[in-house]
Structure 1
Amino acid sequence: MGALTDGMGERLRTLRIQRGLSQTTLARSLVSASYVSLIEAGKRIPDREVLSELARRLGTSVDYLETGVDTAALQEQELAVRYADLSLANGQTDDALRSFRELQDAAVPSVRFRAAWGVTRALELRGELPEALATIEPLITESRADRFGEPTLLVLLNARCRMYREAGDVDLSITYGEEALAEAARLGLRGTEDEVRLATTLVGCYWDRGDLTRARLLSTEVIERAEQHGTHRAKGSAYWNASLVAEAEGRRRLAITLAERALGLLGETMEEHGLARLRMVLGWLLLRTDPPDLDRAASLLFKARTTLAEVGADVDLARCDLHLARLLLMRGSYEESLARTAQAFPSLDSLPVDRARAHLLRGRALIAQGLAGEDDLRTAEGLVAGARDRRRVAELWRELAETWESAGEPARALAAYRALADSLGVVSWPTPVRPRSARTSARPG
């Protein structure tokens, strides 16, 4: 722990003397008196459990022994963290981020740890995913060293997996998710709520990559574990991602049923941001049914958007606007669809797949009005060509192909269909063609 514990031995010795305790008395049934002597001399750093018990016997806190910060100052810093948490929950993302960054200079390690976690969450809400991912790695290292209790290691590992998925690096999110599940099993945490929620995130990652067999198998396991051991929140999370798997397999009515069940389970326990995202997913599912349920989808999406605007979730808000743009496009409200798409663009700079979808929707709305939307379609093709999110990439290529076809551009439609096959790893057989002269000379005379 390095500089964090500078002076700890001296503080321990001073308090021991003030309390009238000998080293033997302080060490009783916990450690040896010689070990206490080594701590006071700065030659040993006790583990967290020993330090916690020594602090209790001396009538102080671990944080004071580590930092020298008195109880009043510690309470003030703890209160500041709680206020920053409240600001984040109320959608004051910029204010919360500023407060968390100020608290990262606090003397108390536990306050600094919680403040750093707050910075990570605020950056994720702002859509600054590379920056958020950079901040979470030191937190994972600290948590693995068992220095702090909250957030738990599995919460941090889940957040890393989720953010890589949101950033479009699905392969890496799956790698980290699988490693995290294996670590949870080694730690004996299988079946806990944090482990179930981690597994549901991994189900979503498999879904994104198009690994539907793995997604279905893990989803079934997660639901069984959640039903046996999980809270309503764990069960709801399991049903949420199971609904995505059902949708990917074409079982859209089942997908809606599962999503509705998730919403019912999570309605009273989940924070508003999470509930808004679930309403957004359910609205998206209703747009994909045949025929689509436009009225109910609109109700869910507008309700989700109101909440997302309040909590300051910029990326999710932009994605909700894209769903609304599609809804308006399906209703024939082209100008309103274009306005919704324009609202989404500013928050999508670092998300090529979502930006491609925005250009595609704008191109479709323009073409539907007899205007030039081909530039937007070509921009969408350029953005999606380098993306790694296999399932969403395939969906975009198909929609691009169908849009080019309806716009009377069969050559571009064919190229998009070929890109769709390539995105799924379908390799065509080479077809050798003989030169015309060879074919001619081979004819019988």
Structure 2
Amino acid sequence: MTTSDLVGLRIKTVRRQRGLSQAQLAHPELSDSYVSLIESGKRTPTPAVLELLAQKLDCSLSYLVNGVTAEQMEDIELALGYARLALENGEVNEARARFAELLANNNLTGLTALRQDTEFGLALATEACGDLDQAIPMLLRLRDEELPSERRIEIAMVLCRVYRDSERLTEAVEVGEQMLGGNGRQWTDLLVELAATLLSAYMERGDLLRARQFAAELLNAADVLGSPRSIVAANWMASNVAYATGHNEEALSFAERAMAVQLENGQPRSIARMRLALLQKRLRGRPAEAAAVRDVLRKTVAEFEGTSTSTIDRARLHMELACAEYMTGDLDKAAEHAMIARDLLPEFGHVLGAESNLLLGSIYGSTGRLDDAGRYVANVRDWLVPLPDSRRSAATWYATAETLEQLGDSDGAVEAYQRALACAGL
């Protein structure tokens, strides 16, 4: 049924409940034939006529328009607000349950915009819980509906991100390019943020030339827009590209500019995730600062737990903290955080899981527990084999080969070197 059909049906239902004829409802402002056309869905009443009919029927305008009373609408909006607040505060399981409960409310069926907001919130909460395979179909279903342009871009950005984090890089690129192509490069803050997500997918699949070109385009767009959101997104991705191509100090310069703007304007989740990535760059680019970075990372754990960062975000944090602990010589703490990182991830099929096992192998190898070290390094295969070929997978296979060689497993090292070459397309 169309919206006009539903509005007409509600007017007819309430009129009959009040014991009124069409002529009685119409008199004296309207004709009974006009009321008949409205009730049959053949005419769409103006807002003024709807307000008049609501008064004559002694019911709320909200009920005639949406099928819910003003009180029910208030309850729905309040429940949606609580769900959003739970997500923002990092209570991701609570947020997921609240969004799902709200979607089960039959009163939401006729409220298209609120239902779409709730479904999008559920997809975000599901992503934050680390259930990427469940978040994807939610986003795809929502994308197929009639949506406001900004919401369509938001969905494309989240879908691109979820595909990227699921190592489905071809699909991530397709989603981002399709949306950007359809907007003819008329840059807005949202499109710059979408483009930044797409750029990260280019980098993950090893297309660094395209990434460098795209990063320059985003910096130009941000300069024209001059808004904090676009400046943060463009400078952050320029930092990532510089870091990936070996320009560490340039990468830190871009990253620090992005972080300074983010601290003044960003949301807690965005600030937390950017802080982690900046610390990662410092740890890799300035190893002499490892102890200082480790201390900040320890404090960042509480920050992550208090925001809507996903389980994969938290796995990245613990993995980075494990690396910092390893670099500063606290091997027990390094092993503890590497295991936390691995346990936060879905079972297999994520490169971060491979990296955590590889680090555990290095830790136990350093302490002479070679059997344990070999077991963890062997587990790397289980995490990497399901993944598509990418630059990051190639690097992890190569590091695995080097570790196996150090542990005396020559055959395993040869196989891992071959896997690395295959991932690199050689």
Shorter-normalised TM-score: what interval?
Answer: 0.7 to 0.9
**TM-score of the two chains, using structure 2 as the length reference:** 0.86
The farther-off stretch of 379-388 and 237-246 is: 379-388
Task: List per-residue Cα deviations over 1:97-138 (Å, max 9, x = no partner).
Answer: 111111113313233222212211111111011111121122
2:189 counterpart residue number: 193
Distance of 1:62 and 1:138 partners within structure 2: 31
Q: 1:12 to 1:184 in 2, by over 3 A?
A: farther
**CA displacement at 1:398 relative to structure 2:** 2.0
Task: Choose which of 246, 254, 257 in structure 1 pairs with 2:253.
Answer: 257
The farther-off stretch of 236-245 and 224-233 is: 224-233
Distance of 1:104 and 1:284 partners within structure 2: 39
**CA displacement at 1:154 relative to structure 2:** 0.5
Q: 1:58 to 1:178 in 2, by over 3 A?
A: farther
Q: 1:378 to 1:20 in 2, by over 3 A?
A: farther
Which structure 2 residue ranges, 5 or more long, are not aligned? 16-21
- The aligned runs of 1:110-259 (5 Å cut-off) are 110-142=113-145, 145-146=146-147, 149=148, 152-185=151-184, 190-259=186-255
1:316 counterpart residue number: 313
Distance of 1:305 and 1:156 partners within structure 2: 28
Which structure 1 residue ranges, 5 or more long, are not aligned? 25-32, 427-445
| Aligned-pair Cα RMSD in Å | 2.9
1:387 counterpart residue number: 387
Q: Is the CA contact (8 Å cut-off) linking 1:239 and 1:258 kept in structure 2?
A: yes
Q: 1:59 to 1:184 in 2, by over 3 A?
A: farther
**CA displacement at 1:379 relative to structure 2:** 1.2
Q: 1:120 to 1:21 in 2, by over 3 A?
A: farther
SS in 1 for 2:87: helix
Distance of 2:27 and 2:302 partners within structure 1: 58
Q: 1:343 to 1:413 in 2, by over 3 A?
A: same
Provide runs of 4+ in structure 1 moved above 6 Å. 13-16, 50-54, 56-62
Task: Choose which of 320, 324, 331 in structure 2 pairs with 1:327.
Answer: 324
SS in 2 for 1:152: helix
Task: List per-residue Cα deviations over 1:316-338 (Å, max 9, x = no partner).
Answer: 11111011111111222211111
Distance of 2:197 and 2:395 partners within structure 1: 21
**CA displacement at 1:228 relative to structure 2:** 0.9
**TM-score of the two chains, using structure 1 as the length reference:** 0.83
1:441 counterpart residue number: none
| 2:276 matches 1:283 | no
SS in 2 for 1:218: helix
| 2:351 matches 1:349 | no
- The aligned runs of 1:334-413 (5 Å cut-off) are 334-350=331-347, 351-371=349-369, 372=371, 373-388=373-388, 390-413=390-413
Distance of 1:125 and 1:52 partners within structure 2: 40
Alignment: residue pair count: 405
Distance of 1:364 and 1:52 partners within structure 2: 70
- The aligned runs of 1:405-444 (5 Å cut-off) are 405-426=405-426
**CA displacement at 1:381 relative to structure 2:** 2.3
Q: 1:292 to 1:246 in 2, by over 3 A?
A: farther
**CA displacement at 1:152 relative to structure 2:** 1.4
The farther-off stretch of 221-230 and 121-130 is: 221-230
**CA displacement at 1:310 relative to structure 2:** 1.9
**Identity between Structure 1 and Structure 2 (%):** 29
1:274 counterpart residue number: 270
1:104 counterpart residue number: 103
**CA displacement at 1:92 relative to structure 2:** 1.7
Task: List per-residue Cα deviations over 1:47-79 (Å, max 9, x = no partner).
Answer: xxx977876787899864443212222122111
Q: Tell me the amino acid that sits aligned with residue 101 of structure 2.
A: E
Task: List per-residue Cα deviations over 1:399-434 (Å, max 9, x = no partner).
Answer: 1122123333444333322221110111xxxxxxxx
Distance of 1:18 and 1:264 partners within structure 2: 63
Distance of 2:214 and 2:54 partners within structure 1: 48
Q: 1:51 to 1:77 in 2, by over 3 A?
A: farther
